[in-house]
Amino acid sequence: MSHKHRISGMIERGVVSAAVAVFLSVVLPAHAANFNPPDWSGTWRAVGSVGTLGSEKGIIFAKETRDYAPLKPQYEAEYDALRVRAEEQGDPNAKDPITDTNTLNCFAGMPRLIAAPFSYNFLITPTEVFIIIDKAVRQVFTDGRPWPSTDAQWPLMLGRSRGTWQGDTLVIDTINMRNDMWTDPTPLMLSSQASVEERLRKINPTTIEDQVTIHDPVKFTKDWKFVRHYAREPDDKTSWPDDPELCGGPSDRNRIVNGQVTVTLPQ
């Protein structure tokens, strides 16, 4: 490269750098200039059981294996009754089964997506963090925006989430979750006044820890606290993501008939 070309290249790079600087100062908020997020790149998976939300070693429908929610007695009784009916879902001999809301909606929602059998990816920007879980995208605003006014709040599958960075820890608060969605594969449902706090931080190169506190002033006797972990999958440039989970299409042999999941066998 000639001297003239080197100077030209330096000028071009200088122009680009200046343009980027102008963009950062004008387009991005002031706090973005000091934004230095942790590296949560890669694909992650929930560690341990997804058959229970509050325990990485829990077994679905085995109540004694789960670190279960501190339900008030009336809600504990309600949950126990529903759990028996849920355990029979899909059983053609059952009298009055109920079906998992994840099956009915083909979508899990919050807080169930804290521990799901899908891949997790974190996209961190100066103003938002996107947590991509199968076909769900949790949009966590870190720009300091206030919660919506009361009349602008209604229940959502993923709720509404705000976050703050405390060093390398992302603290997420989630409200406005639906009260009719199971929080794990058992029929444990929160009230409409429930909220979730998560404290996410990378504790080693292959592990993100999530300290979870679920606050439900209606149904709980105290806050429900537990810790989940996500393990980073090995870097594998031959690996490609699959479709998100798709239910109810023509190729789904588990049709929902009268609110019950069924099995269609080949002819």
Nearer to another protein, 33 or 203 (CB): 203
Specify the DSSP class assigned to residue 146.
Answer: P
Whose Cβ is closer to another protein: residue 28's or residue 231's? 231
Number of residues lying near another protein (CB under 8 A): 51
Do the Cβ atoms of 159 and 186 come closer than 8 Å?
Answer: no
Nearer to another protein, 164 or 262 (CB): 262
Q: Among residue numbers 118 through 177, which ones bind another protein (CB under 8 A)?
A: none
Residue 190, judged by CB atoms within 10 A of its CB (0-12, 13-18, 19+), counts as buried
Query: According to the binding rule CB under 8 A, does residue 91 interact with another protein?
Result: yes
Here's the x/- map for another protein, 183-212, by CB under 8 A: it reads as: -xx--------------------xx-----
Shortest separation between residue 157's beta carbon and another protein, angstroms = 15
Judge whether 163 and 141 are in contact, CB under 8 Å. Answer: yes
The DSSP secondary-structure symbol of 160 reads: E
- Determine the Cα angle at 153 with ends 148 and 159, to 5°: 95
Q: Which two tokens stand for residue 18?
A: 């200046």
36: which DSSP letter?
Answer: -
Backbone Cα Rg of the chain: 23
Binding residue (CB under 8 A) for another protein from 30, 222, 242, 257: 242
Cα-based angle 256, 253, 90 (whole degrees, multiple of 5): 50
* 3-state secondary structure (DSSP) of residue 6: helix
Q: Are 103 and 261 in contact (CB under 8 A)?
A: yes
Stretch that binds another protein, among 66-74, 147-155, 209-217, 228-236 (CB under 8 A): 228-236
The C-alpha atoms of residue 64 and residue 171 are separated, in whole angstroms, by 30
Stretch 29-68: interaction string toward another protein, x if CB under 8 A:
----------------x-xxxxx------xxx--------
* Residue 61: CB minimum distance to another protein, A: 8
Nearer to another protein, 73 or 266 (CB): 266
The span from the CA of 66 to the CA of 142, in Å, is 33
Segment contacting another protein (CB under 8 A): 148-156, 172-180, 191-199, 242-250? 242-250
Kindly list the residues in this chain that would bind another protein in the complex (CB under 8 A): 45, 47-51, 58-60, 86-94, 97, 99-100, 102-103, 106, 116-117, 184-185, 206-207, 231-234, 241-243, 245-247, 251-254, 261-267
